[in-house]
Structure 1
Amino acid sequence: MSSHVIFGAGLIGSYIGACMHQLGVNVALVCRPTIKHKLISGVTLTDYQEHHANVTGLNFLDTDVLARLEPDQLKCDFLWLTVKCQSVAQAIQDIAPLVSDKTVILCCQNGLGSEKPVQNAFPNNVVLRVMVPFNVVELKAGHLHRGSQGHLTIEQTIKGQVSEILQERLNSPLLPVAQTHDMQALLWAKLQLNLGNSINALADIPVKSMLQQRGYRVVIATLMQELLTVTDELGIELPKVTSVPAKIVPYVLKLPNFLFTLVANKMLAVDPTVRTSMWWDMSQGKPTEIHYLNGAVVSSAERLGKKAPANKRIVTLIESLTSSNGAKKDLLNLARPISAKQLQNFIRKR
């Protein structure tokens, strides 16, 4: 069995796996047949900084391969769980044959708390959280493009050995890798940025185009300010994950367009094709991660006796648009693409 398995390899997982393979790491991908079909002849990797690599000979684990292996041969050293938050429960059952008592499981989900069911299911294993800050888009079949900045960051254990080994082995121009002692604070900081995922899905435009419009930025800033109220109450100091400190980001977002362009040029260092994972989910009629993103702010606020009304309204709106209940959609009287003005009016309602 490969020392690394990427389980649930979509855009992010396939990109990480292809980067590993390009570095000579023994890695195999578990993915849908449609994804395997796109990647099996070779993968082109690029990023917004113009790094480039061609990768061939990717290894895949599918039913045919698994049927030929003995149970002991299925076990891997590192299992990267790259499914969405809402798919973790099913994935826990599916990965069981791949996990030995020595397997390190790396949870690469957005949001907060998705690693807890994994820890409960595999209490004797090392389970580490991984923060993936960048977006990956498929420019064409077999061409994966990292469209934004940031280091894949691995949670450090008490002694830090696992994360140090992985960082040293995997860090590269196409896949910058870091490690952190305080993953909880980092995930809250990432969550602050991910609150814009829902707005991107509702706006139905690329991220860069969205950030160039002040109206959308004001909505995102409102969502972020509610999160910052929660983290202040929890005593969490958010690390700086963009060129602007976390507490300053909402104020920067509210600047007039010409000032925002001057101050936040690095925020706009996003490939013009990038859209968020929630946009992809909504566009394909799939369940979204809304309860692990904006919903996490709402539930955390409620546990503290606080409110997060704007985030709660956005959760309601995403739910209505992904519901099969047409009557529910009619009650909200909104449909994608939703303008910035419509969103501003919507989150003001009580």
Structure 2
Amino acid sequence: MSSHVIFGAGLIGSYIGACMHQLGVNVALVCRPAIKHKLLSEVTLTDYQENYANVTGLNFLDIDVLARLKPNQLECDFLWLTVKCHGVAQAVRDIAPLVSDKTVILCCQNGLGSEKPVQNAFPNNVVLRVMVPFNVVELKTGHLHRGSQGQLTIEQTTNGQVSETLQKILNSALLPVALTHDMQALLWAKLQLNLGNSINALADIPVKNMLQQRGYRLVIATLMRELLAVTNELGIELPKVTTLPAKMVPYVLKLPNFLFTLVANKMLAVDPNVRTSMWWDMSQGKPTEIRYLNGAVVSAAERLGQEAPANKRIVALIESLTSTHGAKKDLAYLSRPISAKQLQDLIRKP
């Protein structure tokens, strides 16, 4: 049986790993001791569609044990890299004992370009990008809940065999799996939706509550329009990752509340508990992925000779609130939770 390792198992990685284990897949998790302690006895898996599984006997690998091993000493067939974007560089060094020439490495990061350090470090390996569209929350200790829609999507290999095998093994009610030949366009489409992660972190409320307020939706729509200007210039046609075409999403977000509720009812089909990963990072005092999300739009726009002022302001605000050196002077008056009006005023500034 093929062996799988989930490296950097937080909420998403633990959910994927527990789903694999429940399906009879040979999988081990590499995670922090506190996470291992929560999942060691049993794990409850649920989702917004009321699917359920109880999982016991998860396998774990200690990061301290890995650190003492030589490269290739404890190799696996499939290595799922579920660390945050800013953790990839360190992870590349840590995963060496797990990687042989035959190991397939799957990069599950948000944002764009995080797979490049992995490809550079392991040029002889198959490195596939994976798009994870759904949120996972911990409702209580050991209870992981998938709170939103979407299929875990794996990049299609040249001959398709590796990706198709993974889909066949993993596709299930709790973990729906799809394949794509155009991962770059799909990641841009996912990035469009992820631009709201920062707004959720700043609003300091659940995602559903945020989407029910037009003021916050107007801010997100502005961020999305800047991204669409970039992808239009790059000639990238964004695939649908929601029931709406990507270009229509900003227009729908701008609708009055009563129309938005009617038109975008599936967008609101989000568990009331769900908050974004950036909210979790900020709430726990951890580094955020803002440079790989809104910051990626800013960087791409600058390379094209364009501007993305709204995204640039949001990047500055997130960084001012998470900086160990104190807030930037012109943003020092803002602190979480930040109202929709404050955010609108901020992104309108010249």
TM-score range, shorter-chain basis? over 0.9
**What residue is the counterpart of 2:149 in the other structure?**
149
1:99: Cα distance to partner? 0.3
Please give the per-residue CA displacement for 1:112-151, whole angstroms capped at 9, x wherever unaligned.
Answer: 0000011001000000000000000000010000000000
Amino acid at match of 2:179: Q
Percent of aligned pairs with the same amino acid = 87
Q: Go from structure 1 to structure 2 and tell me whether the alpha carbon gap of 1:316 and 1:183 turns closer, same or farther (over 3 Å shift).
A: same
Q: What is the Cα deviation at residue 31 of structure 1?
A: 0.2
Within a 5 Å distance, the mapping from 1:277-316 to structure 2 comes to 277-316=277-316
Distance 1:314 1:124, change over 3 A: same
- Mapped to 1, the partners of 2:59 and 2:194 lie a distance apart of 31
Instruction: Give the corresponding residue for 2:26.
Output: 26
Match of 2:255 in 1: 255
CA distance in 2, matches of 1:68, 1:295: 36
Deviation at 1:316, TM superposition (A): 0.4
1:172-251 matches, within 5 Å, as 172-251=172-251
How far apart are the structure 1 equivalents of 2:327 and 2:70? 52
Q: Which residue of 2 aligns with 1:81?
A: 81
Distance (whole Å) between structure 2 residues aligned to residue 51 and residue 224 of structure 1: 32
Contact residue 211 and residue 268 of structure 1 kept, 8 A:
yes
Which residue matches 2:36? 36
Counterpart code for 1:168: K
State the SS of the aligned residue for 1:124.
Answer: coil
Contact 1:101 1:124 in 2 (8 A): yes
SS at match of 2:129: strand
Which one-letter code corresponds to 1:97 in the other structure?
Answer: P
Bigger mean CA deviation after superposition, 68-77 or 137-146: 68-77
3-state secondary structure, aligned to 2:100: strand
Q: Quick one: which amino acid aligns to residue 340 of structure 2?
A: A
Alpha-carbon shift at residue 290 of structure 1 (Å): 0.3
Secondary structure of residue in 2 paired with 1:149? coil
- Aligned residues: CA RMSD: 1.6
Q: Is the 8 A contact 2:71 2:96 kept in 1?
A: no
Q: How far, CA to CA, are the matches of 1:11 and 1:207 in structure 2?
A: 17
Work out whether residues 321 and 329 of structure 1, in 8 Å CA contact, stay in contact via their aligned partners in 2. Answer: no
Paired residues of 2:111 and 2:187 also in contact (CA < 8 A): yes
Q: Which moved more, 1:156-165 or 1:58-67?
A: 58-67
* Counterpart Cα distance in 1 of 2:341 and 2:117: 39
Equivalenced residue count is 350
Cα distance change on mapping 1:24 and 1:302 into 2, 3 Å: same
Check whether the contact 1:2–1:28 (CA below 8 A) recurs between aligned residues. no
CA contact (8 A) 1:317 1:332 kept: no
1:3-82 counterparts in 2 under 5 A?
Answer: 3-62=3-62, 74-82=74-82
Q: Which amino acid aligns with 1:149?
A: Q
Give the structure-2-normalised TM-score.
Answer: 0.97
The answer to whether the 8 Å contact 1:42/1:56 transfers is: yes
Structure 1: any 5+ residue segments left out of the alignment?
A: none
Q: Which residue pairs with 1:348 in the alignment?
A: 348
Q: Structure 1 residue runs of 4+, over 6 Å off?
A: 67-71
* Distance in 1 (alpha carbons) for counterparts of 2:139 and 2:303: 42
| Structure 2 residue 104 is matched with structure 1 residue 94 | no
CA 1:73/1:56 → structure 2, altered by over 3 Å: closer, same or farther? farther
The answer to whether the Cα contact below 8 Å between 2:301 and 2:307 also exists between their aligned partners in 1 is yes
> Structure 1 residues 115, 71: CA separation in 2 closer, same or farther (over 3 Å shift)?
closer
- 1:20 deviates by 0.1
Distance 1:63 1:242 in 2: 37
AA paired with 1:155? E
> Per-residue deviation at 1:71?
6.7
Q: Deviations over 1:48-71 (max 9, x none)?
A: 000000000000001576599897
